[in-house]
Amino acid sequence: MMVSIESLSSLERRMEVAVPAARVSREIDARLLQVSRTARINGFRPGKAPIHVVRQHYGAQVREEVLGELVRVTFTDAVQQEKLKPAGGPRIEPINADAGGDLRYAALFEVYPEINLQGTEGMELTRPVVEVSETDVDTMVESLRKQRPNWVEVTRGCQDGDRITVDFSGQLDGEAFEGGEARGIVFPLGAGRMLTDFETGLRGAAAGETRKYPVAFPVDYGNAKLAGRTAEFTVSVQKVEEPQLPALDEEFCKAFGVEEGGVDALRREVRANMERELGQTITARMKSQVMDKLIAANPLDLPRVLLDAEIREMQMDAMRRTGARNARQLPPRESFEQGARRRVALGLLLNEIIGTQAIEPDAARVEARLDELVMATADPDVARQQYLQNEQALRQLQMMTVEDQVVDWLVGRAKVTEQPTTFRELMNFGAAD
């Protein structure tokens, strides 16, 4: 087998392969002999037809199959021989496949970039140092109270933060339109759940009041018949309710799963949750810094085939999250290009570290991560069983764990400066209060 390599770019390769005619002939003859043992040909008992007759009946088919298999096998042998690492499947260009001659073809493909890891020693990182204070707990408890207000009916005009109940009907060019009429619609004013003009026209209206005003639909509105147009709405306010914070008592605590211990137990639970979220945030901050610096220190040419695959996966994930059902609803690939480049680059760099440092998934950490995931579900036992029976999910869990181990390895070699801050600043919590 003769092999020649041409570099088309930093990552693109054109490899020509020549398979001797003698090998092609041997492979075809061997396959015909195999076929002859079971071939059913008129005039002969099964498996008893002469080989020349079998060749007449099956020769073309067998030759095509053998050539295809030879291309697959010799491509693999050639890249191993030349110590190449293809980043994806090749595009095959036939050069010669004539009977009696050498099989010659060209394979065009991308290779993985060569990585000479830099910047793994002495990264300069900043670790936030935070303690959850009693004031932070107070703020969080107040936030919980605001999440479960008691609604009290009022006679004044409505304002942002109120909950209002309305009937409405809309007309477009003097005609009613589908979806333009409803009764008993309840929504919080100022939360953005209704169109901006719809909410603006209602502010100050009291129960029993009816208003008529125009409402503009945005140009990207989901209904194409309404997008960018203005309708006339008649809105009747049936009820206006203002929020009142609930008492901080045993009943309130039970609403958040604290059955015993009252307010003190609730505060302990709140603090534990805050500290857990704080730890996760600090870990994420450190990881983000490490990844940014790793990418900056190791600029790579990225295989297009890997980028395309990553963009496609991100597009499909976006479709799943939005409920889109067909390819026409795919978000534009341009919006995922930057994110895909980061993912692919990090994947290559992390795999290099994993390989060079022989990092294996820590079983205890995998188990701890699994516990964390299943405990967040309604039925942890069922969720655990589903994970254990799903090889792909387990592999993903192991990969996530190994990634954390790589981050820990890099942080352990870094220059880390501690930066005191507050829970409020780090978590961006309570800024509106």
Please state, in angstroms and rounded to a whole number, the distance separating the CA atoms of residues 198 and 216: 8
Write down the pLDDT at residue 433.
46
C-beta of residue 406 within 8 angstroms of C-beta of residue 353: yes
Return the closest-CA partner of residue 240 out of 182, 198, 196, 188.
188
Write down the pLDDT at residue 211.
97
User: φ and ψ at 175, to 5 degrees?
Assistant: -120, 145
Task: Return the bridge partners of 4, or none.
Answer: 16
Q: What is the DSSP string of 116-139?
A: ---S-SS-EEEEEE----HHHHHH
Quick one: which H or E segment has residue 93?
strand 91-96
Task: Kindly list the structural domains of the chain, giving each domain's residue range(s) and its CATH number in brackets, ordered by start.
Answer: 2-110 (3.30.70.1050), 124-133+259-427 (1.10.3120.10), 150-244 (3.10.50.40)
SS (H, E, C) 154-221: CCCCCCCCCEEEEEEEEEECCEEEEEEEEEEEEEECCCCCCCHHHHHCCCCCCCCCEEEEEEECCCCC
225 three-state secondary structure: coil
Write down the pLDDT at residue 430.
59
Task: Return the bridge partners of 242, or none.
Answer: 152
Write down the pLDDT at residue 432.
47
Decide: pTM greater than 0.85: no
pLDDT along the chain (433 residues), means of 10: 94 96 94 88 84 89 94 96 94 93 96 94 95 94 92 96 96 92 96 94 96 94 90 97 94 90 93 93 95 96 94 87 71 89 96 95 93 86 89 91 95 96 86 48
